[in-house]
Amino acid sequence: MRALQFDRFDSPDAIVLRDVPQPEPGPGQLRIAVRACGLTPADWHLVDGLLADHLPPLPRGLGLEVAGTVDALGEGVDGVQLGDRVFGPATFDGPTAGAAEYALMPAWARIPDGVTDEQAAALPMAAETAWRALDDLGVRPGELLLVHGAGSTVGEAAVRFALHRGIRVIATAGPTRAAALEEIGAQVTAYGDGMTERIGALSGGAVDRALDTAPTGGRIDRADQPSPAGGALPTLVELTGDPDRVLTVSDFAAAADLGVRITTEIRYDRMDEFARLAGEGILVVPVAGTYTLEQVQKAAELSRSRHPGGKLVLVL
């Protein structure tokens, strides 16, 4: 089968397309014929060396989230049949991952009717991160939540989940996603000078909690790396009045300095819930562009620009 791999830690230039053996599902896993693979900033961090000391030796595969049709079942897997359309996380600790003609999955859910493979492949990581962040932050119905970086895929998913939970949302976003966020019920304001004053005017008082989903553009496994210029966490702490009421999914270095919460423990026990919400149109992660496996370098360049305008997806 064809698969994307990297055999050195470097920029996305290290990624190559090769013919490799199909992976075999282990206990509790299934294998799919991949139809779409979502790309995330974590892909480039892994190529850059994230978790290098915690994963098996190179070469390694690319792609953390997939959608496709069930091709083989590992021992102990039930409740799913060959040919079913499923989506979820791909295993990424071997020589292949999600960006391949066949991929292994440790967790999954059926793709709802009316949801395309590309749309389904865009969901797992954004939905999981956003749901977990809201839970870990402890935001409750009736509270006012500020989502900073709501134009990101995680940010928009967090806005959608929060509104569905009965939480009032103020979102900061650029012009690309501002109208879409307003349409689903968020109050939206722009980044930049005067943001604090604009949020104060919209809130009419204190913000109860704040969630930072803006990409930092830096290595996410380095607690000693400085926060990029213009980091928003001090402003979010000022708006809520308490660093314990602020959580970031990306700016871990600044969070350590300020006492802001972080969330890192990935868990995929809500896949069926994500599928249901996607089928009802409540959970949507916009797909900004699709690419073939051969076009991964082009997709990587746009993804790493930090302004992709939505999810980028490899299609097979």
Q: Are 133 and 250 part of one and the same domain?
A: yes
Cβ–Cβ < 8 Å for 15, 6: yes
The total domain count for the chain is 2
The answer to whether residue 117 is domain-embedded is: no
Q: Which position has the token pair 């919400």?
A: 277
Residue 135: give its domain's CATH number: 3.40.50.720
Q: Are 189 and 60 part of one and the same domain?
A: no
The answer to whether residue 226 is domain-embedded is: yes
**Amino acid identity at 183:** E
Query: What does each C-alpha distance from 189 to 143, 181, 186 come to in angstroms?
Result: 18, 10, 10
Q: Are 131 and 94 part of one and the same domain?
A: no
Token pair in block for residue 185: 């019920």
Taking residue 271's Cβ as centre, other Cβ atoms within 10 Å add up to 20
Mean of the pLDDT values across residues 9-15? 91
Percent of the residues in the chain that have a pLDDT greater than 90, as a whole number: 81
Q: Are 98 and 22 part of one and the same domain?
A: yes
Contacts 24+ apart (CB under 8 A), 301-306: 301/12, 303/39, 303/40, 303/41, 303/43, 303/44, 304/12, 304/41, 304/44, 306/215, 306/217
The answer to whether residue 118 is domain-embedded is: no
pTM score: 0.92
Q: Which position has the token pair 């090769």?
A: 18
Residue 303: give its domain's CATH number: 3.90.180.10
Q: Are 166 and 295 part of one and the same domain?
A: no
Q: Are 235 and 162 part of one and the same domain?
A: yes
The mean-pLDDT minimum among 99-103, 109-113, 301-305 falls in 301-305
169/309: higher pLDDT: 169
Name the strand (E) or helix (H) holding 312. strand 311-315
Q: Are 75 and 7 part of one and the same domain?
A: yes
Question: In sequence order, what are the beta bridge partners of 60?
Answer: 6
Per-residue pLDDT of 23-77, as tens digits, reads 999 999 999 999 999 999 899 999 998 888 878 889 999 999 999 999 999 999 9
The answer to whether residue 39 is domain-embedded is: yes
Nearest to 216 by CA among 230, 203, 206, 197: 230
Q: Are 248 and 293 part of one and the same domain?
A: no
Query: What does each C-alpha distance from 302 to 116, 306, 311 come to in angstroms?
Result: 23, 7, 10
The number of residues in the chain equals 316
Q: Range of 84's domain?
A: 2-110+286-315
Give the pLDDT score at 216. 67
Q: Are 12 and 85 part of one and the same domain?
A: yes
Nearest to 235 by CA among 192, 200, 196, 198: 196
Token pair in block for residue 157: 């998913």
Strand duo 311-315 + 287-291: pairing: parallel
Taking residue 216's Cβ as centre, other Cβ atoms within 10 Å add up to 21
Q: Are 246 and 295 part of one and the same domain?
A: no
Q: Are 79 and 138 part of one and the same domain?
A: no
From CA 195, how far away is CA 189, in angstroms rounded? 7
Last residue of some domain: 262, 277, 299?
Answer: 262
**Amino acid identity at 260:** V
Mean of the pLDDT values across residues 134-147? 97
Per-residue pLDDT of 250-271, as tens digits, reads 999 999 999 999 998 899 999 9
The answer to whether residue 277 is domain-embedded is: no
Residues contacting residue 245 through CB under 8 Å, at least 6 positions apart:
137, 208, 209, 210
Mean of the pLDDT values across residues 290-303? 95
Q: Are 136 and 197 part of one and the same domain?
A: yes
